[in-house]
Structure 1
Amino acid sequence: MYLCASMKELKFLNKYLHKYRGRLLLGLIITVVAAVFKLVVPMKIGDSVNIIEQKINGEITDMALVSSGIMKNILLLFGATILAALFTFVMRQTIIIVSRKVEFDLKNEIYAHYQKLSLGFYKQNRTGDLMNRISEDVGKVRMYVGPAIMYSTTTITLFIVVISYMFYKAPVLATFAVLPLPILSIMVYRLSIAIHKRSTVVQQYLSKLTTFTQESFSGIGVIKAYGIEPRTNAEFVELSDGSKQKNIDLVKVNALFFPLMMLLIGVSNILVIYIGGTRYINGEIPDLGTIVEFLFYVNMLTWPVAIVGWVTSMVQQAEASQKRINEFLQTEPAIQNRVSSEILIKGKIEFKNLSFTYDDTNITALKNVSFEVNPGETLAIVGNTGSGKSTILELIGRLYDIENGNLFIDNTEIKDVHLKSLRSAIGYVPQDAFLFSESIEDNIKFGKEDATDQQVIDAATLASVHNNIIGFTNGYNTILGERGITLSGGQKQRVSIARALIKNPKILLFDDCLSAVDTETEEEILNNLHKISEEKTTIIVSHRVSSTINADKIIVLEEGKIIQRGTHNQLVNTEGYYKELYIKQLTEKEM
């Protein structure tokens, strides 16, 4: 049943072939029926030639018998051709639809797996390569599940039916007719190895091209600002030239197939004419119709034999693509949900002697950090760039797992907290506000899909962005460009804040998300947050002292260590980083 049994990587698809086995079996049965009807055509043409030969030899003298015999064969030919075409059409519809369903299932499985993988995975793999595997590679695999299986089935069926009948009708002539086929099999095997190797390289280059163009389009503003369009274009030309060369190498191998097929089929035709004609003259073949019939059979096998090369190429390319897909599907998510039952998060957070090192860079971001935040409290974190502030927020969202020290959520080790419960209880506003290419309303609703229009307006008002939105021509229905490029930096940050607030979460995490707004807007947002955060745990990462003044607790980080802690009043009256930052920013404001 499973044609991929001999292909190691393609065995992954067996579960899909099993899922749609009913449709596939129906397609295979129809294929056999279509092949049988195709067999009728040469038989009836041979019979017609025999009738004409008998008339010429005087074996049939009645012209009416000749006409009726030929007319009967014409009607049978017409009927067989119509039925063969009909069954071929149904066969194509059945198997190709299965291939599309498998493509749909495979893309969904890959996408679902992508979402389970940790943040570290996305730091190590480029977006273009991820996109290529879910699009181009899946497309190659679909060609295997659909056209490759369909044409393979047609070829095998025709070979069995046609060659069996040929040996039944004239064994010696059939032997000479199929003599070139073993040579063909050996050549196909040798060429398929080369195709497999070159297909893998082609897909790798395609991933590089996709990655390069994706990054270029995303960073087009930087490219234009620095005037490096010529250099970027030269790099693209160099990369595409390499891709072109690898594709040419693959095409050169593929190009050997069809001339080889036609040569061998031509040899078969010559052998049929020569051997058949000789044996007919010698009386070893009783009628001329057999030779004509065999010529039709040999040429009927031309397309199936020629398609062997194409099918082989498709299978080899599909295996190379499926191998690339399997590499990611076999990647285990670094963050595993170890708990089966969901819980209600209250919001208490405790870091206890926690140290953390990033695997990809080997940078130690936190060193023996300890603090506690209770529900209803606001913690502010300040420090220089690279001091570990953002890492604390990422660990609370369990974007990374902890190896040294402890992180407790409601007095429970974070690894023992249900992952969905944890993340559903968090409203996270990242430092780099990311908005999707949807309407402003839809972007805010990412925080709560079933939110009402009034809830969207309320969240935007709390984030001090409502007045900006209603000033747009289409208001909340304004469609944003890629990554929210339609909005200014401050507007993007505030829409991102609205997206977090509409969830009404137990834990609010703000990662320097007010850096692009003016001080008046910042103060308005902070006052709004103060009103709604009475029962919430709020952590604000900021470079501005103005964002930390009303916090219940403040910690100062330096190179991953807590060097100061206390309230605003305590820290401004203590010599150290916080007081220096406060005086510096106060002076800048006065100036």
Structure 2
Amino acid sequence: MKELQHLNKYFKKYKWKLIIGFFIVLIARIFAILTPKFSGDMIKYVENYMTSGGDLSELKHQLLITLFLLLGAALLSAFFTFLMRQMFIVVSRYIEADLKNEVYEQYQNLSLNFYKKNRTGDLMNRISEDVSKVRMYLGPAIMYGVTTVILFATVIPYMYYTAPTLTSYVIIPLPILSVAIYQLSKLIHTRSTIVQQYLSHLSTFTQESFSGIGVIKAYSLESQTFDNFQELSETSKQKNLDLVKVQAFFFPLMIALIGASNLLVLYVGGKQYIDGTIPDLGVIVEFLIYVNMLTWPVASVGWITSLVQQAEASQKRINEFLQEKPEIVNYTDAHTPVDGKISFNNVTFTYDDTNITALKNISFTIEKGETLAIIGKTGSGKSTILELIARLYDTKEGHISIDDKEIEKFNLKDLRTSIGYVPQEAFLFSDSIKENIKFGNNYATDEEVVEAAKNAVVDKNIAEFTKGYDTILGERGITLSGGQKQRVSIARAIIKDPQILLFDDSLSAVDTETEEEILANLKRISTTKTTILVSHRISSAKNADKIIILEDGEIIQRGTHNELVKQAGYYQELYRKQLDEKEME
């Protein structure tokens, strides 16, 4: 149970509830073991009356009193059993929520590189299915485990006190059970791990299939995708069957052993009653009830063991991610406001997952309020510059400074709060258009939302929708066109009112007229903001204060639009090509 030690902090957090729960179990079991005693007493009273005679009215009185005691003990046992379930199961739900929050918080803290190496389906499975398996250990397994221990600790001593020889015979099957459980539990642990892994594969496959349903339909791949799913599902089913086959040994084994114990009670108890070792038939009745009372606790040992093994396997998978260290670390908790000056000094950056060197010895400076345009071919390193400014990655060679201070010295939250970032692939949430824009500023008024949409030149499009700004978008904003998604993302960045604006080719899906209108609005609202525009279009870059041209991660040209169009090179060639294309339209 090494992996499950991670949960000890939660046991400590809810220790008083668990301690109270323990005493409630103890009280419930004490009342439970009284019921066989009262049943045996009733048989004893009847036996005495039958053998030695006596007053019938006195017998009725004894039976009535004992019956009321029996009912009272049963009701009190049921009441405290109810409280026991409330205590242990509720605590397990609390811990389940805490564990999910811990995993989700860890997911948010982990660096972008982590998400490149792990699939979404697997992440979802660990926070849902794996945590659910752990909850079964936290609730039912612990509750029935405590119940079993207390029941054995109270019932077995009483049975030994009443009839030691008979008790010795009755508990003979228990060591056999222990050995069988030990052997089976090892198999359960191994097969549970495999089952959870295949469940992750299934979750990942279905998540990717639903996300890419448009591509699947466009290429008419429904049959092939279904066949692949069916193959994966069949393999997962077989792994589950392998686990179930091992688990299936438990209950037949329990029933056989309990049946053997009942036979031993009748046979050995009957002989001892005939020999006079046992004084009355009530003892045999008591033992039969006790043996059957122990049926579920004994049977639950196997079930509990199975739950613990599955929880151990699931917690191991959860711990793998909880023990993952974020690559991007916040080195200060102090407030560090950002003004807007950005400097790169001999920055070289290599992606460790692909070993591609995206930037090579890059140096430039942007003053507060200036606009820098970055132009280059696909894969030249343009997006990497923006990701480094937002500290989505850290460089190991060269230095990046904000306001003449190393970027690592800024509070990470302050740094990212000061940045409005529009990624290359606009991502919208399955919510209303208004809430997607307010994602940049949750406290924005409706008027500010509309103003931001107007600056992003998407207000007229939104007004055409039946529900306007309250229109609910499909997953990843599938309701909108590519250009509309980009403009809603721009509105989200604008409403944030940051010190730094980063646009990663975020006008590629809009027409030239709309692009010019958006750029004019951005120039007006960003006079005091530092702006970086990544683009393939000269029209997006021409009004920038500075322009740099990247090729294979290196700066091959830099200057203003007027300077660069006069220089022979990439910018001049691109300008002429796009000018010719515009004239041909």
Aligned to 2:150: 157
Given candidates 39, 57, 62, the residue that maps to 1:64 is 57
Q: Distance in 2 between matches of 1:23 and 1:169?
A: 35
Within 5 A, what are the aligned runs for 1:76-475? 76-475=69-468
Letter in 1 for 2:14: Y
Letter in 1 for 2:577: K
TM-score, L = length of structure 1: 0.98
**1:28-54 alpha-carbon deviations (Å, 9 max, x no partner):** 111010101111111111111111111
Q: Distance in 1 between matches of 2:187 and 2:65?
A: 51
Q: Distance in 2 between matches of 1:20 and 1:376?
A: 53
**1:127-171 alpha-carbon deviations (Å, 9 max, x no partner):** 000001111111111111111110001111111111111001000
Aligned to 1:497: 490
Given candidates 3, 7, 10, the residue that maps to 1:9 is 3
Q: Which runs of 5+ in 1 are unaligned?
A: 1-6
Given candidates 569, 576, 583, the residue that maps to 1:583 is 576
Does residue 37 (structure 1) correspond to residue 31 (structure 2)? The answer is yes
Query: How far has the Cα of 1:286 moved from its partner?
Result: 0.8
Are 1:60 and 1:66, in contact at CA under 8 Å, matched by a contact in 2?
A: no
**1:492-519 alpha-carbon deviations (Å, 9 max, x no partner):** 0000000000011110000000011111
Letter in 2 for 1:160: A
**1:200-235 alpha-carbon deviations (Å, 9 max, x no partner):** 000000001000000000000011111111111111
Aligned to 2:18: 24
Partner secondary structure for residue 428 of structure 1: strand
How many residue pairs align between the two structures?
A: 584
Q: Distance in 2 between matches of 1:550 and 1:513?
A: 16
Are 1:128 and 1:207, in contact at CA under 8 Å, matched by a contact in 2?
A: yes
Q: Distance in 1 between matches of 2:50 and 2:239?
A: 60
Query: How far has the Cα of 1:393 moved from its partner?
Result: 0.3
Does residue 570 (structure 1) correspond to residue 563 (structure 2)? The answer is yes
**1:372-418 alpha-carbon deviations (Å, 9 max, x no partner):** 11111110001110000000000000000110111111111111111
TM-score, L = length of structure 2: 0.99
Aligned to 1:46: 40
Partner secondary structure for residue 345 of structure 2: strand
Aligned to 1:4: none
Are 1:430 and 1:510, in contact at CA under 8 Å, matched by a contact in 2?
A: yes
**Paired-residue identity, %:** 65
Partner secondary structure for residue 200 of structure 1: helix
Query: How far has the Cα of 1:590 moved from its partner?
Result: 1.2
Letter in 1 for 2:23: I
- RMSD, matched Cα: 0.7
Partner secondary structure for residue 361 of structure 1: coil
Q: Distance in 2 between matches of 1:523 and 1:292?
A: 93
Q: Distance in 2 between matches of 1:251 and 1:66?
A: 53
Query: How far has the Cα of 1:570 moved from its partner?
Result: 1.0
**1:167-189 alpha-carbon deviations (Å, 9 max, x no partner):** 01000000001111011111111
Query: How far has the Cα of 1:116 moved from its partner?
Result: 0.6
Query: How far has the Cα of 1:61 moved from its partner?
Result: 2.2
Aligned to 1:3: none
Letter in 1 for 2:67: I
Letter in 1 for 2:336: I
Q: Distance in 2 between matches of 1:418 and 1:27?
A: 44
Q: Distance in 2 between matches of 1:583 and 1:321?
A: 60
Query: How far has the Cα of 1:585 moved from its partner?
Result: 1.0
Q: Distance in 2 between matches of 1:196 and 1:140?
A: 12
Query: How far has the Cα of 1:442 moved from its partner?
Result: 0.6
Does residue 481 (structure 1) correspond to residue 477 (structure 2)? The answer is no
Partner secondary structure for residue 135 of structure 1: helix
Query: How far has the Cα of 1:60 moved from its partner?
Result: 3.0
Q: Distance in 2 between matches of 1:252 and 1:186?
A: 18
Letter in 2 for 1:45: S
Q: Distance in 2 between matches of 1:443 and 1:307?
A: 50
**1:300-351 alpha-carbon deviations (Å, 9 max, x no partner):** 0001101111111111111111111111011110000112211111111111
**1:97-152 alpha-carbon deviations (Å, 9 max, x no partner):** 10000011111111111111000000000000000111111111111111111000
